């Protein structure tokens, strides 16, 4: 019963907020171009389902494409860093510079240098998603306990055995935590980058729908696109939360390192 | 002692920080012998074990032990102060690890692991995760892991220090059973006089700063030790003898 109540509480709050919003808009007779009621947002979402779905799909492709590249790049660079302290010292500042540069600031430059808008968007999104994977994986690959290292030395483990049976399992919770962060950041990166790039390509994402609607003061449509983004963000968070639980199985109940 | 399994000859160990962990330490352990290293903290007891296991290099002197003779080493077992089980692997996989690293498949290893776990009261925990086990059970698994290769030398670094007294006594008795079931030399580091007397055939008393061996006490009570040994006058006498030696070692260091 308690668990049910715990699960219901956030839902009740959410529904309550939506109802309050709906009532406020109706009672105060707020015009829809200032603040549309939730019911109108829903209607708009339904009416524009086809065009919004296409944009949603494009944003999703950028998000997951960049995330996949961030995972590949992050794990690769992390392995190199973990193998060699000098290389880490040499290249970590570059990685930090990538991390601290706001995508909004660097996107216009990237758009100049990179011909294809899709590629530019991927690159911008990759920049935001790359660092958490890199830094967490480096941390994880170094996290093996001295006792475990001694054990593997005692039994003369080969470097490959050490990597496969000790370093990778040790790093897994750290990697999963990085993946959870980067999953959320990818979506933010994809939208932010498209906001700056504008609707240049043939295919466009949800950011372009929002900008477009903004130019035409179609506030309900802006909200509809926003709703899709929020739902997608929540879904991505949920997905990676489940994924990290599955990856870590029974041995790490929290699903992330302390 | 020409038939020594393990020997240290005038071994010095100086760490990079300048700390002298051991100074001209010499000792010998015969095959199948149960020897305890007793001493105050910082006397280099653990360093002796790490040298014997080949985990550290001596600064000077010579170390001879199975781990140094056999390049494809599986003849030395090591039980650390913590159980150091892999938290993502169940009991079976943890015990399998030394054999797995030596290229023994799961199927080949299964009979040995099954028998070993059964003999140590772990039969019901084969697929338990380390986080589901008590401290005493975790240590049993660690001992099983160290024994799985049938080592010639079992090195134990204060393995029961973190356990409660009752569990510690039970594990002491189990360790003696294991030692009698499968002959192997045991080097057991402890700072407990009682534990050293109860377990060993010989106790090497160590002094600190610099770490060195100051006394050797024979515990000439044959194994298996009689049930009342722990409360016998003989036991009390040996404990007194060892305590006096330990005090002398510590006074010398101060």
Q: What is the pLDDT of residue A202?
A: 67
Token pair in block for residue A172? 């897994």
**Does residue B98 contact residue A155 with C-beta atoms inside 8 Å?**
yes
Q: Enter the DSSP assignment of B192.
A: -
Q: Which residue of B has its CA nearest to A171?
A: B88
- DSSP element (H, E) containing A182: helix A168-197
Cis peptide before B210 (omega within 30 of 0): yes
Residues of B in contact with A165 (CB under 8 A): 86, 97, 100-101
Spatial distance between the Cα atoms of A146 and B239, rounded to a whole number of angstroms: 34
**Does residue B41 contact residue B191 with C-beta atoms inside 8 Å?**
yes
Q: What is the pLDDT of residue A94?
A: 87
Q: What is the pLDDT of residue B71?
A: 67
Spatial distance between the Cα atoms of A235 and B244, rounded to a whole number of angstroms: 69
Residue B208 distance to chain A (closest CA, Å): 24
Q: What is the pLDDT of residue A252?
A: 55
Chain-centre distance for alpha carbon B186: 6
The torsion defined by the Cα of A173, A179, A180 and A184, in degrees rounded to 10, comes to: 170
Spatial distance between the Cα atoms of B32 and B140, rounded to a whole number of angstroms: 21
Write down the mean pLDDT value for chain B.
90
Number of H helices, E strands in chain A: 11, 0
Collapse the DSSP code of A253 into the 3-class scheme (helix H, G, I; strand E, B; otherwise coil) and give the result: coil
CA distances from A107 to A8, A131, B184 (A): 42, 17, 68
Spatial distance between the Cα atoms of B227 and A241, rounded to a whole number of angstroms: 56
Q: What is the pLDDT of residue A98?
A: 82
Q: Which of B88, B104, B129, B146 to mutate to test the interface with A (most CBs of A within 10 A)?
A: B88
Is B103 within 8 Å of chain A by CB? no
Predicted confidence (pLDDT) at residue B49 exceeds the cutoff of 80: yes
Name the E strands within A33-157. none
Over residues A77-123, the pLDDT tens digits come to 998 888 888 988 898 888 888 888 888 888 888 888 988 888 999 99
Which residues lie across from B212 on neighbouring strands? B207
Over residues B120-160, the pLDDT tens digits come to 999 999 999 999 999 999 999 999 999 999 999 999 999 99
Q: What is the pLDDT of residue B2?
A: 55
Nearest one of B49, B44, B61, B34 to B213, comparing CA atoms:
B44
Answer whether A154 sits within 8 Å of B78, measured CB to CB.
yes
Q: What is the pLDDT of residue A258?
A: 35
Residue A150 distance to chain B (closest CA, Å): 7
Residues of chain A with pLDDT under 70: 1-2, 198-202, 250-258
Spatial distance between the Cα atoms of A89 and B147, rounded to a whole number of angstroms: 42
**Does residue B135 contact residue B141 with C-beta atoms inside 8 Å?**
no
Nearest one of B99, B101, B178, B168 to B139, comparing CA atoms:
B168
Collapse the DSSP code of A56 into the 3-class scheme (helix H, G, I; strand E, B; otherwise coil) and give the result: helix
Predicted confidence (pLDDT) at residue B67 exceeds the cutoff of 90: no
Q: What percent of chain A has pLDDT over 70?
A: 94
Q: What is the pLDDT of residue B109?
A: 95
Q: What is the pLDDT of residue B20?
A: 86
- DSSP element (H, E) containing B87: none
Spatial distance between the Cα atoms of B35 and A70, rounded to a whole number of angstroms: 55
**Does residue B175 contact residue B144 with C-beta atoms inside 8 Å?**
no
Token pair in block for residue A176? 């999963």
* Token pair 């401290």 in the structure block, residue: B135
**Does residue B159 contact residue B108 with C-beta atoms inside 8 Å?**
no
Spatial distance between the Cα atoms of A54 and A205, rounded to a whole number of angstroms: 8
Residues of A in contact with B78 (CB under 8 A): 150-151, 154
Answer whether B86 sits within 8 Å of A249, measured CB to CB.
no
> Which stretches of chain A sit within 8 Å of chain B by CB?
145, 147-148, 150-157, 161, 165-166, 169, 172, 248-253
ipTM: 0.91
Q: What is the pLDDT of residue A255?
A: 41
Spatial distance between the Cα atoms of B188 and B38, rounded to a whole number of angstroms: 8
Q: What is the pLDDT of residue A200?
A: 56
Q: Given pLDDT bands bounded at 50, 70 and 90, which one contains residue B248?
A: confident
Nearest one of B226, B163, B168 to B195, comparing CA atoms:
B168
Q: Enter the DSSP assignment of B226.
A: P
**Among A17-21, B173-177, B208-212, which is the least confidently predicted range?**
B208-212
Angle A219-248/A206-215 helices, nearest 10 degrees? 160
Q: Taking CA B105 as the corner, what is the angle to CA B102 and CA B108, rounded to the nearest 5 degrees? A: 110
Residue A236 distance to chain B (closest CA, Å): 26
Spatial distance between the Cα atoms of A51 and A178, rounded to a whole number of angstroms: 33
**Does residue A125 contact residue A69 with C-beta atoms inside 8 Å?**
no
Answer whether A148 sits within 8 Å of B86, measured CB to CB.
yes
Q: What is the pLDDT of residue B32?
A: 93
């Amino acid at each position: 019963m308690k668990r049910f109540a715990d699960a219901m509480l956030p839902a009740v709050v959410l529904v309550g907020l939506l109802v309050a919003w709906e009532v406020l808009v109706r009672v105060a007779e707020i015009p829809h171009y200032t603040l549309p009621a939730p019911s109108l947002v829903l209607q708009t979402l339904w009416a524009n389902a086809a065009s919004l779905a296409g944009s949603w799909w494009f944003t999703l492709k950028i998000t997951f494409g960049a995330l996949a590249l961030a995972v590949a790049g992050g794990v690769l660079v992390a392995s190199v860093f973990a193998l060699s302290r000098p290389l880490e010292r040499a290249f970590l500042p570059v990685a930090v510079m990538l991390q601290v540069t706001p995508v909004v600031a660097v996107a216009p430059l990237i758009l100049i240098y990179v011909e294809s808008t899709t590629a530019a968007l991927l690159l911008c999104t990759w920049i935001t998603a790359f660092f958490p994977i890199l830094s967490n994986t480096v941390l994880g690959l170094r996290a093996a306990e001295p006792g475990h290292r001694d054990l593997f030395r005692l039994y003369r483990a080969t470097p490959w055995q050490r990597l496969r049976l000790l370093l990778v399992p040790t790093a897994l919770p750290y990697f999963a935590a990085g993946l959870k962060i980067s999953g959320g950041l990818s979506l933010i990166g994809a939208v932010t980058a498209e906001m700056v790039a504008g609707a240049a390509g043939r295919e466009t994402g949800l950011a372009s729908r929002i900008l477009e609607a903004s130019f035409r003061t179609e506030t309900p449509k802006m909200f509809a696109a926003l709703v899709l983004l929020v739902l997608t963000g929540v879904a991505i968070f949920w997905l990676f939360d489940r994924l990290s639980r599955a990856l870590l199985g029974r041995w790490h109940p929290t699903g992330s390192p302390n | 002692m020409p038939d020594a399994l393990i020997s240290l000859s005038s071994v010095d160990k100086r760490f990079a920080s300048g700390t002298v962990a051991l100074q001209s330490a010499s000792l010998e352990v015969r095959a199948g012998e149960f020897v305890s290293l007793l001493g105050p903290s910082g006397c280099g007891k653990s360093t002796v074990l790490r040298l014997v296991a080949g985990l550290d290099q001596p600064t000077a002197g010579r170390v001879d032990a199975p781990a140094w003779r056999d390049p494809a080493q599986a003849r030395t077992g090591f039980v650390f102060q913590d159980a150091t089980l892999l938290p993502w692997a169940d009991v079976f996989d943890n015990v399998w690890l030394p054999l797995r690293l030596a290229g023994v498949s799961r199927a080949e290893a299964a009979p040995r692991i099954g028998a070993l776990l059964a003999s140590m009261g772990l039969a019901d925990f084969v697929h338990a995760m380390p986080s589901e086990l008590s401290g005493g059970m975790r240590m049993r698994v660690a001992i099983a892991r160290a024994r799985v290769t049938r080592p010639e030398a079992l090195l134990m670094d204060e393995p029961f220090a973190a356990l409660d007294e009752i569990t510690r006594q039970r594990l002491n008795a189990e360790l003696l059973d294991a030692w009698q079931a499968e002959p192997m030399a045991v080097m057991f580091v402890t700072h407990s006089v009682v534990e050293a007397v109860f377990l060993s055939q010989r106790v090497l008393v160590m002094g600190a700063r610099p770490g060195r061996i100051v006394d050797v006490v024979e515990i000439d009570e044959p194994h298996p030790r009689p049930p009342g040994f722990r409360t016998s006058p003989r036991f009390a006498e040996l404990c007194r003898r060892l305590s006096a030696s330990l005090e002398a070692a510590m006074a010398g260091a101060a």
